[in-house]
Amino acid sequence: MPFRDRAQAGDLLAKRLAEFAPEHPLVLALPRGGVPVAAPVARALHAPLDVIVARKLGAPGNEELGIGAVAPGGVRVLDERLIAALHVPPEHVARVTAKEQREVARRLMAYRGSPDPPDARGRFVILVDDGLATGVTARAALASLRQAGASRVVLAVPVGAADTVDALQPEADGIVCLECPLDFRAVGVWYDDFRPTSDDEVVDLLAASRH
């Protein structure tokens, strides 16, 4: 079932997450695309909305193919098997890591006005993205939240590849995925409108949630 757009997907996801409202969760979105999904979730749960920035480490010659990811707190996860299979040189891993760590800091400043991520210590966190393909950025974000002292983390997405959802089960305290197709192909296939989310839209959605 394709979703109309990220906002509609967020509305449907919010209904599945309604049981968590009494636990006063902190809703954290993975920008950019996760923010318009998370906004209706936070609104329905009467929860604060914020962002945790994780960035994929692209393979040589194919930035869309993630060989790992970085997240706040110096967190880096690597797909060692893929790196070995592609014969990715260590210099490339180091170079792209430094580049994406700078981008994490830039986006945190742009979205939050601070290079620091939100304080998750002792908090129940619902981590939201618009979908899971390889799951590498979600894995980095989950590791970052664990490191930051979150008491419990539930990963919530409208759609995810079934094998990725299975692989991430040990990383989270729970996963809510509305659609887990075996024939996944790509996140965008499951949305009628999958236009890119801009930095300005992220900032506007975060500002609206605070009011």
Say whether both 162 and 194 belong to one domain: yes
Q: For tokens 């993975």, what's the residue?
A: 30
Using only C-alpha atoms, the chain has a radius of gyration, in whole angstroms, of 16
Say whether both 47 and 122 belong to one domain: yes
| Cα dihedral across residues 103, 105, 106, 112: positive or negative | positive
1 inside domain: no
95 inside domain: yes
Number of structural domains (the chain) is: 2
- pLDDT tens string 148-203: 999 999 999 999 999 999 999 999 999 999 999 989 989 999 999 999 999 999 99
Q: Please, are residues 46 and 33 in contact by the beta-carbon 8 Å criterion?
A: no
Q: Record the tokens describing residue 85, joined without a space.
A: 């299979």
Say whether both 104 and 125 belong to one domain: no
pTM, rounded to two decimals: 0.95
Say whether both 42 and 122 belong to one domain: yes
Say whether both 151 and 60 belong to one domain: no
State the residue range of the domain holding 120.
Answer: 6-54+116-210
Which residue type, as a one-letter code, is found at position 142?
Answer: L
Q: How far apart are the first and last CA of the chain?
A: 33
Say whether both 36 and 132 belong to one domain: yes
CA distance 8 to 119: 28
- pLDDT tens string 88-145: 999 999 999 999 999 999 999 999 999 899 999 999 999 999 999 999 999 999 999 9
